[in-house]
Amino acid sequence: MLGETRAKRLELIKTMLPAADRVGVLFSPSPDAGQRAAFESALRQAARAVHVELEFHPYRSLDELMAALPALAAARTPAFLLEPIFQTFVNRGRIAELAIQHRLPGVFTLREYAVAGGLLSYGPDWPTLLRQLAQQVDRILRGAQPGELPMEQPNRFELVINLATAKAIGLAVPQTLLLRADEVIA
């Protein structure tokens, strides 16, 4: 489900930085070559739609991820997209600090990254998703067969923008983007 938001996150980068021609993609590579190829192919297709080239930067450890951010800044990559894993989630504050230090706009999937200092996030509204889950559990407890219940996807997504981070890295957030935001962190 998070993969389906990648195209939207690339679109948000282009809205924030219309002149951006490249975007760094920081991701933890799958050991399955077919899965990795599908990931890269889907992301490249989304990038073509917004006219950006992608620079893939796989990381296998937190140290590799933390080294990738200064490397992106040194290469003058306009922005980056982070594919989250547990290790990045628990270190989201450190990642945001390093991105700010290098004046590198980052776009994330989970709102917690924006709250921790990331520039913006776009992803599922977790409270709504958890309510959906609770309804499914309730149906099962009332006797429904799990295999007969429909598979549910998130039906609400949220855009969170951190204005303090935008100011710290010298970006003016377009008014159109601010109007679309579900939450703006001052």
Domain boundaries, position 97: 2-124+156-185
Q: How far apart are the first and last CA of the chain?
A: 29
Structural domains in the chain (count)? 1
Per-residue pLDDT tens digits for 32-66: 889 889 889 999 999 999 999 999 999 999 999 99
pLDDT in tens, 113-172: 999 999 999 998 877 777 877 888 888 888 988 888 887 777 788 999 999 999 999 999
Q: What is the pTM of this model?
A: 0.86
Angle between helices 33-50 and 6-16 (to 10 degrees): 40
135 occurs within a structural domain: no
167: tokens are 């100011």
CA distance 170 to 175: 16
Residue 52, burial from CB neighbour count under 10 angstroms (0-12, 13-18, 19+): buried
User: Which domain CATH number covers 71?
Assistant: 3.40.50.2300
- Residue 163: per-residue pLDDT: 97
- The pLDDT tens digits of the residues spanning 6-23 come to 899 999 999 999 999 999
Contacts of 155 (CB under 8 A, 6+ apart): 128, 132
Structure token pair of residue 174: 């377009």
